[in-house]
Amino acid sequence: MATFLSNPPAPDAKFGSALPWGNDQKGCEPLNPPQTAEALAMIIITRPDATEDQIEHIVSRIHDWGLRAEVSRGEMRVVIGVIGPEDKIREKPLGAFPGVESVTPVLKPYKLVSYEFRGTPSKVKIGNVVVGGKEVVLMAGPCSVENEDQIITIAQSIRKAGAKILRGGAFKPRTSPYSFQGLGKAGLQLLAEARREAGLPIITEVMDTKDLDLVSEYADCLQIGARNMQNFSLLREVGRTRLPVMLKRGMAASIKDLLMSAEYILSEGNFNVLLCERGIRTFETMTRNTLDLNAVPVLKAETHLPVVVDPTHGIGIRRFVPAMALAAVAAGADSIMIEVHNAPELAKSDGEQCLLPNEFADLVGRIRGVAEAIGREV
């Protein structure tokens, strides 16, 4: 298991050590210009007896050559991912450094998100909550932020029940232009108030590049919704921030499409990315979507990024959400996102699929049981 967080504090010529660990996460330039089709990732694995000096020497040489290095520390070995133009990487004698055991190119179409690029799972920090470790992190809250009383009441109740992150949409992607579109900036301000009151970091959706600066002022984690999974300009823009980003799978997107979209974000330098399975469209009509739990073990094998499951949108029917949440934990999800509302009959969106606070509290106890059975905790 990894002992580092994403974007480890490796010395970086451009940013020093102030990278994504401080609170000063905003407004950073990308580490490198966007990668082109010729970009190649090479993986250097060091010998178990490689010294710190040898590792530092490799990293500083890679930087001198104008290439990028991502250092991941496993229990026995250090993996150094190298990224840059193919012709430039191929001409470098990467295997000749003392301390190197092997050098292999990443042959998959997704490179920075691929598991082998780090050789160990990544952890992403949202506020003071770490996703991707032993803990199965619970995110909960209403579909939309509606008013002060609603968001604060829900925030307090989910915190008491054991949730670690508060969700709530201020900018809502709705199928109909006549449906409630979210409170916008006022919704973000209410989320910030709920964060203060309940002491929970917040995740909220950004739908458009024009709103990114505003949403980034408030959010601890940006959510990219299913309908925007392939909004490539938005992906690149959130890749230029250092805020954590949860990327939801598009409803007609393959697992590979999801990984390729995440690659856009990482290629801009932001490694703080979570992937979210939220159900796909199939021929089935008895449920809102089909929650593809196959994606969980497949993603855990294919990528180092943490995996979140949203069973609420995945099945879309309140009384079936708990079963799918438990199944998602059993399948290996690092985090579960659940919609909770204190008055679902009055909810301005998704009232039919959200749990009541007491139903959520009951579910947390059962999730804990499943998590412990597979060696994890809540």
Which residues form the interface with ligand PEP (CB under 6 A)? 143, 169, 173, 225-227, 248, 278, 313
Using a 10 angstrom Cβ sphere, with 0-12 exposed, 13-18 middle and 19 or more buried, the burial of residue 193 is middle
Residue among 302 and 350 whose Cβ is closer to Mn ion: 350
Residue among 71 and 305 whose Cβ is closer to ligand PEP: 305
143 binds Mn ion (CB under 5 A): yes
CB of 279 to ligand PEP, least distance (A): 7
Residue among 88 and 227 whose Cβ is closer to ligand PEP: 227
Residue in the structure block whose two tokens are 């190197």? 100
Q: Which residues contact 358 (CB under 8 A, 6 or more apart)?
A: none
CB of 110 to ligand PEP, least distance (A): 21
Query: Over 24-54, what HEC string results?
Result: CCCCCCCCCCCCCCCEEEEEEEECCCCCHHH
CB of 130 to ligand PEP, least distance (A): 22
Distance CA 15, CA 35 (A): 19
> Which partner, Mn ion, ligand PEP, none, binds residue 174 by CB below 5 to 8 Å per kind?
none
CB of 203 to Mn ion, least distance (A): 13
> Which partner, ligand PEP, Mn ion, none, binds residue 226 by CB below 5 to 8 Å per kind?
ligand PEP
Query: Following DSSP, what letter does each residue of 83-116 receive, concatenated?
Result: EEEHHHHHTS-GGGSTTEEEEEE--SS--TTBHH
Q: What six digits make up the tokens of 356?
A: 């009541």
CB of 352 to ligand PEP, least distance (A): 13
- Tally the residues of the chain: 378
Name the segment binding Mn ion (CB under 5 A); options: 49-57, 135-143, 194-202, 241-249. Answer: 135-143
350 binds Mn ion (CB under 5 A): yes
Instruction: Give the residue nearest to ligand PEP (CB).
Output: 225
> Which partner, Mn ion, ligand PEP, none, binds residue 225 by CB below 5 to 8 Å per kind?
ligand PEP
Q: What six digits make up the tokens of 174?
A: 């709705």
Q: Are 303 and 334 in contact (CB under 8 A)?
A: no
207 binds Mn ion (CB under 5 A): no
* Residue 39 dihedral angles phi and psi, to the nearest 5°: -65, 145
CB of 313 to ligand PEP, least distance (A): 5
Residue among 80 and 226 whose Cβ is closer to ligand PEP: 226
* Number of residues near Mn ion (by CB under 5 A): 2
Residue among 225 and 357 whose Cβ is closer to ligand PEP: 225
Instruction: Give the residue nearest to Mn ion (CB).
Output: 143
Which region holds residue 174: left if phi is over 0, alpha if psi is between -120 and 50, else beta?
beta
* Residue 349 dihedral angles phi and psi, to the nearest 5°: -155, 145
CB of 17 to ligand PEP, least distance (A): 34
Pairing, β 245-248 against β 221-224:
parallel
**Residues contributing to the site for Mn ion (CB under 5 A):** 143, 350
